[in-house]
A and B are shown apart, each in its own frame.
Chain A
Amino acid sequence: MIAFEHVGKRYGGRFEALADINFRVERGEMLFLTGHSGAGKSSLLRLVMRLERPSRGRVLVAGHDLDRLHISQVPYYRRQIGVVFQDHQLLLDRDIFANVALPLTIQGVEPADAARRVRAALDKVGLLHRERALPIELSTGEQQRVGIARAVVNKPALLLADEPTGNLDPQLSADIMRLFEDFNRIGTTVLVASHDLALIARLRHRVLKLRDGRLVGDGEAA
């Protein structure tokens, strides 16, 4: 599903964010990406989302060589990826339903079909009863779950999450991780960047460990 081949990323020709990263992720896997802040977790995710291009090496996702993806194809590529952000990135001027529907609106899905899928996604994260609420009326944990519903509403093959539990207490964090595991069980490949080592250790999934832009560990959490 994801393959990094000797990937390096420099910013401004000096700062080396990532150096010689090699790993493969199979379809249907769930894994964590850890490391102290500044270790390169976000850079790695940005490469997968094709927000940036590697300075060296190749990134392959779902059969696409991202470096050879034409700029006009990038939006269509991104539609295959669901992304959960640390700060949820909801649009504050529209209600929960419209926020979750956004990826479907972008893809031009029939409204009736879209409504059905939005409700299914909201039901999955347990927020079906709040579909007419505005984001600010929800708690932080609920906002994050709306963000997850938006990320999965178009059934992406790959789900990325960047510090999804960064602002949540341990109980809510565990709930969120359980949601990711549920999506993984139905075949979605899930990659979660997190520095919540205690939580990761309990979940027993593969862990990629970054330190100063290098991959220093790849295996089940110890």
Chain B
Amino acid sequence: MSERQPSAERPRGAQKPQRRASGGGRAWLRHHRAMMSDSALRLVKRPIATLLTMLAIAIALILPAGLWLALDSARLLDAELDESATLTVYFAADVGESRAMDLAAEVGEQPGVAGTRLVTAAEGLADFQQTLGVDDALSQLETNPLPASVVVTPDATAPAEVQALSQQLQALDGVDEVRLDLAWLDRLQQLAALGQRVALALALLFGLGVLLVVGNTIRLAVESRRQEIEVVTLIGATHAFVRRPFLYSGAWYGLGGGALSLIILVLGGNWLASPVAALAESYGAHFALPSLGIGHSAFLLLFSTLLGWLGAWLAVGRHLADIKPR
């Protein structure tokens, strides 16, 4: 990896002082290994200070991660809602039962229709009675006031396309009205978009917080090892060599903070689980709090480690410039 400079015109000992041709990479790896364990050891030797720093990082990570989980659960809901984004096609009141079946078939053949379910006038009335529990009132009626209808599942779920399909169905003969409730779907999507932006903003803000926490801790570490840095610089240490232990410290802080935040998220999730389940139960719904899967947990750890590393890198770069006996 290192080529020797031609040294013919230079006196002995004046060759470019390169890394030795053999073992340059091995020496580099060895130093990395040494600094990885050395920096971990330094953190372990001061457990309280280390734990406090990691806790600060964990708290900064929990808020965006928690919000992300909440959004994730909302996205689950909205997947269910997509399926229920159906159109209801009401036929004219004078359409009889057999005509209704023909019409339903006709609707089913329209382009953009994935499926249909016919609700006859009698079925509609039964549904109505069941949901509202108004048996008595309706039994007073001499004729069924409800028209037959068809529930249409569209191919596409995008609001604009569903809107177009609705107009197309409206034009059919014998169709009285096509109902779809797009407004709330729209609103929900906007709310989700808003939530995503808030989560992103929080992630950026708290990511910056992690950088500052790590940066400040590393700054103190650099300060406390100032003499050592000066000495090794005087005897030929490269910037990378001086920086390496601090970068590993930063990465350890990040990893530890990430792990702590995972633990707190799991504990917090368990703590909230039973009241949330009870609340959902009372609405007749089944809802479980989402949890970070293995993939997302790994991502959180990787992300926090990288943040720690980056914070250390920024702090060390900034402070080595001050220390340089130049």
- Could you tell me which A residues sit within 8 Å of B by CB distance? 1, 27, 49, 51-52, 62-64, 72-73, 75-80, 83, 89, 91, 102-103, 105-111, 150, 157
Interface size bucket, B side? 20 to 34
- Asked if A51 and B326 sit within 8 Å, CB to CB, the answer is yes
Asked whether B27 lies within 8 Å of A51 as measured between CB atoms, the reply is no
Contact A108 B23, beta carbon cutoff 8 Å: yes
Interface set, chain B 2-36, CB cutoff 8 A to A: 9-14, 16-20, 23-24, 26-28, 30-31
Contact between B235 and A108 (Cβ–Cβ < 8 Å)? Answer: no
Instruction: Answer yes or no: B263 CB below 8 A from chain A CBs.
Output: no
B295 on interface, CB distance cutoff 8 Å: no
Let me know if B237 is at the binding interface, CB within 8 A: yes
Is B235 within 8 A of A103, CB to CB?
yes
A64 to B230, CA, bound (A): 23
- In the A-B complex, the 6 residue pairs with the smallest Cβ-Cβ separation, listed nearest first, are A108-B27, A79-B236, A157-B13, A63-B14, A78-B236, A76-B17
Interface SS of B by simple majority? loop
Closest B residue to A155 using CB positions: B13
By a CB distance below 8 angstroms, the chain A residues around B110 are none
Q: How far apart sit A72 and B233, CA to CA, in the bound complex (Å)?
A: 12
- Indicate if the CB atoms of A49 and B234 lie closer than 8 Å: yes
Contact status A89-B227, CB under 8 Å? yes
**B253: min CB distance to chain A, Å:** 21
Say how far B230's CB is from chain A's closest CB, in angstroms. Answer: 8
A106-B232, A108-B31 known; A75 and B14 CB under 8 Å?
no
Selected from A52, A80, A106, the residue in CB contact (under 8 A) with B326 is A52
A108 contacts B19, C-beta separation under 8 Å: yes
Q: Does B325 contact A (CB under 8 A)?
A: yes
A170 to B238 CA separation, bound complex (whole angstroms): 38
Residue of B nearest to A74 (CB): B236
Query: A83 contacts B235, CB within 8 Å?
Result: yes
- 20 sampled A-B residue pairs with Cβ under 8 A: A27-B11, A62-B10, A62-B13, A63-B14, A75-B236, A75-B237, A75-B238, A76-B17, A77-B236, A79-B17, A79-B235, A80-B13, A102-B231, A103-B236, A105-B31, A107-B27, A108-B26, A108-B28, A109-B20, A110-B27
B76-118 at interface with A (beta carbon < 8 Å): none
Across the interface, do B23 and A110 meet the contact criterion of CB distance under 8 Å?
A: yes
User: Looking across the interface, which residue of chain B has its beta carbon closest to that of A99?
Assistant: B231
Please name all residues of chain A whose beta carbon is closer than 8 Å to the beta carbon of B206 when the two chains form the complex.
none
Known contacts A76-B17, A83-B235; 7 further A-B pairs (Cβ under 8 A)? A1-B11, A27-B13, A62-B13, A64-B14, A72-B238, A108-B19, A157-B12
A108-B31, A109-B27 known; A62 and B236 CB under 8 Å? no
